[in-house]
Amino acid sequence: IGIASQPVQYQDGRHFDDKSNSDARFHMLRVERLVGGTNELSAYYGVYERSAAHYLDADGEETRQLLDARLGGAAQGFDWDVEAMLQRGSLGSKTIRAWAGGSRTGYTFDTLAWKPRIGLQLDIASGDRQAGDGRVGTFNPLFPNGYYFSLAGYTGYSNLIHVKPSITVKPLAMLSVQTAVGLLWRQTTADAVYTQPNLAVAGTAGQGERWTGAYAQLRTDYAFTPNLSGAVEAVHYTVGQTLRDAGGHDSNYLGMELKFSW
């Protein structure tokens, strides 16, 4: 799969006035293969370019080369999705050296009522360990989807350690209910705490402790028909002392969605 793209910039002056944004480009070559039956092995090489990037320790033209490898599959009740990412390049006059990894694993008890699944999600993304050293270590998640953690979007995939155990049950064939707790730390206290998409929280870089906070998540999904599904998600986020000292506070989120596909 090959992609060559230039995102669109909205003008917000009138309807349908978007235009190509020459300040950003993203290109990618991806290969996929089924191994061992239904296990999906994939890898991609990408190039991300931005003309006016701003980070805590660097500003200027950003060029990132991306390497990514992923393995996903299921067997005998177990399921897994494991991914590793490397980023190299330059940002202004400085070099980029960033990395990240993530995994989602679980086991489903098919013989029990409600078919409970016990899951564990682990994530880590690098931060910038030392200001002024000529190197940018903050991982760039590029175009992140907050759904990866929760739809609340309280945390970004930069300078992050994330541990999320969960339990999912199916009281009905078309209904699933998931409860989860997410625990969050910084990979390094020298860098900031980040929110979606990768925005640094002012007053957190070089301040406080690794612990960022925790969230509790409750989500229900229901398939009304093969083409129509709905979901309700509630999240309570409790900030750590570092965010509280920076002016942050606990938050609650409630979201409802209805999807129609064909």
Is residue 123 situated within a structural domain?
yes
Whether residue 99 is contained in a domain is answered as: yes
6 found inside a domain: no
Identify whether 149 is part of a domain.
yes
Q: Confirm whether 199 is domain-assigned.
A: yes
Three-class SS of residue 236?
strand
Contact 138, 121 (CB under 8 A): no
| Residue 165 bridge partners (DSSP) | 120
pLDDT tens series, the chain, 262 aa: 999 999 888 888 888 888 888 889 999 999 999 998 889 999 999 999 999 899 988 999 999 999 999 999 999 999 999 999 999 999 999 999 999 999 999 999 999 999 999 999 999 999 999 988 999 999 999 988 878 888 888 889 999 999 999 999 999 999 999 999 999 999 999 999 999 888 999 999 999 999 999 999 999 999 999 999 999 999 999 999 999 999 999 999 999 999 999 9
CATH of residue 98's domain is 2.40.160
Whole-angstrom CA distances from 103 to 174, 180, 210 are: 26, 15, 21
Tell me if 34 is assigned to some domain: no
Which has the closest alpha carbon to 186: 254, 114, 261, 243?
243
Cβ pair 123, 187 in contact under 8 A: no
The number of distinct structural domains making up the chain is 1
Task: Decide if 49 contacts 130 (C-beta within 8 A).
Answer: no
Domain that holds residue 241: 76-260
Residue 187 lies in a domain: yes
Q: 215 lies in a domain? A: yes
